[in-house]
Amino acid sequence: MLIIHYIENFKQGDLLSDHLSQLVFAESNYAKVKLSKSKREFAAHLNEEIPDIVHIHTCWSHKAYQCMKIAKRKGCFTILSPHWTLSDFNRTKEEPCSKFIKLLYYQTKMVKQIDAVLVTNVEEREEFLKKGWKDRVDYVPAHILNSNTSQDSMAEQHIEIYRKIINTGYRRLMTNVEMNSLNCLLHVGIQQEGKSKQLKSEQLLELRKLNPQQWQRILLYSDDEDIREKVNLGIERLQLSCPNIDTKKIWRYSPLNPKKTGNLNSDKILAKDLLVKNRIEDAIIDGELKLQVLSIMFANSKYLLNSRKFTLHHLADLYLYIKSNDYDEVKLQGILRKMNIYRFARRLLQILSDVLFLEEGFLPFQPLDDMQTQKLKQNIIDIEKY
């Protein structure tokens, strides 16, 4: 793990500077650590090697905000320690007019965009949570202020918080190989025995070459998308050697936007808008049962995608219904047109084809692959909501 600490106005004898010196020294026993004391030095460190974690210890500085944005663009995980500088007393008693402007201009954005906040005592954490700026706030006592906490213990706890942030944002680290491997496992896991599409030799090779870190991300993704049982079955059917990873013991923050677990509703319309609901009901009223069910599944898929609640479990449910049932494809198109979701359904078919390898013979109509299709796919992956 590589960590870059960023602080401005660093000077010997200053309480915060001395605390940071102790932290950097102690953390160096567990990871590679660099200390940046200016934006220029930070840029130089970033150019040398991309860190896993950027830990910022400066507030009310536009340069610090810029450093955070640069780090996020580079794919780094970021954490902020305000050291009481964002407290109500500090904001209202020390240069209140200047800080009010900075708060509107960039400081609030910085807190919202940072991955997590780390403070040095419980009181600061409680005050921060009361503001409602951030839910992901942890605390680790500073050795320089608390003799009950050793430097080594302080460093260990910081490293654990960094791992917690990385484990929470695992989706950002997932490569195309890992995503493709997950798709293969899910495809094999949802088929009737012996009915799965034959995987290509390069796909099987990629699955066999996965390392423990890649397996961990795939299994975490499977948990969050409510497809773990299906993926486990895929692993078993392909006779893959998967490391024994208890994902429930991996320390993570709760998702920012938890998804809807369970099966995709096929009998109840989820839309809350009365006009939309009436339009769906009017469109399906004369259709046979299978057409009604499939039309409702498409409509509910759109609703869940718009609310960022759609999972790969829901996609698998749609795949299985399309593949397992016979219905009038022309009538289905007519119903979906009346519901104003025909183009959406075409895009979802493209995703079914890309992700779960739905074959051309089972496609009820022509898929649509455009910019909106890619946006829908990114919505399902949903990197920023974890």
User: What is the pLDDT confidence band of residue 96, given thresholds at 50, 70 and 90?
Assistant: confident
List strand residue ranges (DSSP E) for 241-284, in order. Answer: none
**Residues 6+ away with beta carbon under 8 Å from 364:** 322, 327, 329, 332, 333, 349
Question: Is 375 part of a structural domain of the chain?
Answer: yes
Give me the sign of the Cα torsion angle 135, 136, 141, 142: negative
The separation between the first and the last C-alpha atoms of the chain, rounded to the nearest angstrom, is 21
Q: Which of 29-43, 185-199, 294-308 has the lowest mean pLDDT?
A: 185-199
Last-in-domain residue among 129, 146, 169: 169
Amino acid occupying residue 105: Y
- Of the chain, the percentage scoring pLDDT greater than 90 comes to 81
Q: How far apart are CA 149 and CA 155, in angstroms?
A: 10
Q: Which of 16-20, 32-36, 88-92, 171-175 has the lowest mean pLDDT?
A: 88-92
* Shared-domain flag, residues 181 and 163: no
Question: Is 236 part of a structural domain of the chain?
Answer: yes
Residue 294: C-alpha distances to residues 191, 266, 322 (Å): 19, 7, 8
* Shared-domain flag, residues 347 and 244: no
pLDDT of 197 higher than 70: no
Residue 275: C-alpha distances to residues 87, 285, 312 (Å): 47, 15, 28
Question: Is the CB of residue 166 less than 8 Å from the CB of residue 53?
Answer: yes
* Shared-domain flag, residues 155 and 203: no
Mean of all residue pLDDT scores within the chain: 93
Angle formed by the axes of helices 176-189 and 201-208, to 10°? 110
* Shared-domain flag, residues 232 and 297: no
Question: Is 255 part of a structural domain of the chain?
Answer: no
Q: Please tell me the predicted confidence (pLDDT) of residue 230.
A: 96
* Shared-domain flag, residues 315 and 218: no
Question: Is 258 part of a structural domain of the chain?
Answer: no
Residue 122: C-alpha distances to residues 18, 92, 154, 231 (Å): 21, 21, 15, 41
* Shared-domain flag, residues 125 and 11: yes
User: What is the pLDDT confidence band of residue 189, given thresholds at 50, 70 and 90?
Assistant: very high
The predicted model gives 367-373 an average pLDDT of: 95
* Shared-domain flag, residues 12 and 108: yes
- Three-state DSSP at 131 gives helix
Question: Is 362 part of a structural domain of the chain?
Answer: yes
* Shared-domain flag, residues 92 and 196: no
* Shared-domain flag, residues 18 and 46: yes
Question: Is the CB of residue 292 less than 8 Å from the CB of residue 266?
Answer: no
Q: Please tell me the predicted confidence (pLDDT) of residue 90.
A: 85
The predicted model gives 205-225 an average pLDDT of: 96
Q: Please tell me the predicted confidence (pLDDT) of residue 196.
A: 62
Last-in-domain residue among 169, 195, 229: 169
* Shared-domain flag, residues 300 and 358: yes
| Residue 203: half-sphere exposure toward Cβ, Cα within 13 Å | 15
CA angle 50, 51, 57 (to 5 degrees): 130
* Shared-domain flag, residues 98 and 209: no
Q: Domain range spanning residue 77?
A: 2-169
| Residue 372: half-sphere exposure toward Cβ, Cα within 13 Å | 12
pLDDT of 385 higher than 70: no
Question: Is 259 part of a structural domain of the chain?
Answer: no
List strand residue ranges (DSSP E) for the chain, in order. Answer: 2-6, 32-36, 53-56, 77-80, 116-119, 137-139
What would the two tokens of residue 57 be?
Answer: 């210890």
Question: Is the CB of residue 165 less than 8 Å from the CB of residue 77?
Answer: yes
Cβ atoms within 10 Å, residue 356: 21
> What is the pTM (predicted TM-score) of this model?
0.91
Task: Classify residue 148 by burial, with Cβ atoms within 10 Å: 0-12, 13-18, 19+.
Answer: exposed
- Of the chain, the percentage scoring pLDDT greater than 70 comes to 98
Last-in-domain residue among 249, 266, 285: 249
Domain count, the chain: 3
The predicted model gives 295-313 an average pLDDT of: 95
The predicted model gives 74-82 an average pLDDT of: 96
pLDDT single digits (tens) 121-146: 999 999 889 988 899 999 999 999 88
Three-class HEC string of 69-87: HHHHHCCCEEEECCCCCCC
Question: Is 13 part of a structural domain of the chain?
Answer: yes
* Shared-domain flag, residues 118 and 206: no
Question: Is 140 part of a structural domain of the chain?
Answer: yes
DSSP 165: H
